[in-house]
Structure 1
């Protein structure tokens, strides 16, 4: 006597055929939709130019401090400094701050938007809104100034304006250096000189 097939048996028989076929179809779809990989295409972080990074190397918050030949203490700081790729002795800096304290106690504080420090020439060049304040009460401004790192010397080859106890002063240039007859004397006084068309508007004290 033939055994009658029930619905469950028929379902199991069809499932043995349909399910493997469905799995094969899904697997084929994965390969069809997968994106082709181009081995020549660089990954994003591989596009970094190593030579450019070397050229753009910078130092944050650098500082220099020393004592000049005539006994003055000098310090120079900046927000950032970047070595010159063509001359390792030169460094381009931003937001320069410098302080010069002579052996006699006179203090000169300098600031500028940018500048250059040349260790080979023992000079620092300040540019862009240079401001000098002195312990004697003067505030001097100029577009550019230079200061020596090995001796007390502060110069401006261009026009300067100074406001102080005597009033307002305009001049074509300025220099600060030891007195000519006292060079080499660690306790020597220093002379602040304005020249080239000096104009003084005197303001008498009350």
Structure 2
């Protein structure tokens, strides 16, 4: 008899809990909705409008990248911190430019500039502001401006260059990197116009005793 009363009590308790627990859950949910702060969707619109208006007024790209192969087989990669197209949509300006040129003969040239401009019609890029050129052949040169073609391997300084090379301290009125005429897959680095070289002989190897 005691066991039967216990079973009946347990059954009634389970039955009441099946009704009470869902009701309690509904009460809790309704309370949360009633006391929660209302969100005004209009609050975020002024901030979004400012950003969109700024982008429309001065469209720009963050960390753009360009990669291509010239008609003579060299690989050219250009990256920047930011870029803005011009009004024609066929060119633009960029800040903090980095260019990497790999020619088929295995040479590598790295170029860094503060800013630059692109002209898609002329297939040309101009780098300005303390341009630094580093080559895998041991040259480290600086110039104020540099012009690079995008469809062929031809990099020319727009003015004097100065720096160091395998033979010593070097300066010239102009520097040019271009394909060797008549020799496929060969490239030359040419200095001209008032070339000055201060020869610095290589240090002798240490004398091990």
TM-score, normalized by length of structure 2?
0.71
Q: Distance in 2 between matches of 1:99 and 1:47?
A: 39
User: Unaligned 5+ residue runs, structure 2?
Assistant: 1-44, 204-209
**1:51 to 1:191, Cα distance in 2 relative to 1, 3 A:** same
Q: Which is bigger in relative contact order (C-alpha 8 A, separation at least 6)? A: 1
**Structure-to-structure mapping, 1:66-105, within 5 angstroms:** 66-85=68-87, 87-105=88-106
Residues 55-100 of structure 1 deviation map (CA, whole Å, 9 limit, x = unaligned): 3111000000011111100000000000112x21112000000000
TM-aligned CA deviation for residue 157 of structure 1: 2.2
Q: Distance in 2 between matches of 1:89 and 1:104?
A: 32
1:201 matches 2:184: no
SS at match of 1:71: coil
1:168 matches 2:169: yes
> Which of 61, 74, 87 is the equivalent residue of 2:63?
61
What's the counterpart of residue 109 of structure 1? 110
What's the counterpart of residue 128 of structure 1? 129
Q: Distance in 2 between matches of 1:46 and 1:102?
A: 46
SS at match of 1:54: helix
Q: CA RMSD in A?
A: 2.0
Q: Distance in 2 between matches of 1:65 and 1:52?
A: 29
Q: Which structure shows the higher helix fraction?
A: 2
User: Unaligned 5+ residue runs, structure 1?
Assistant: 1-42
SS at match of 1:192: strand
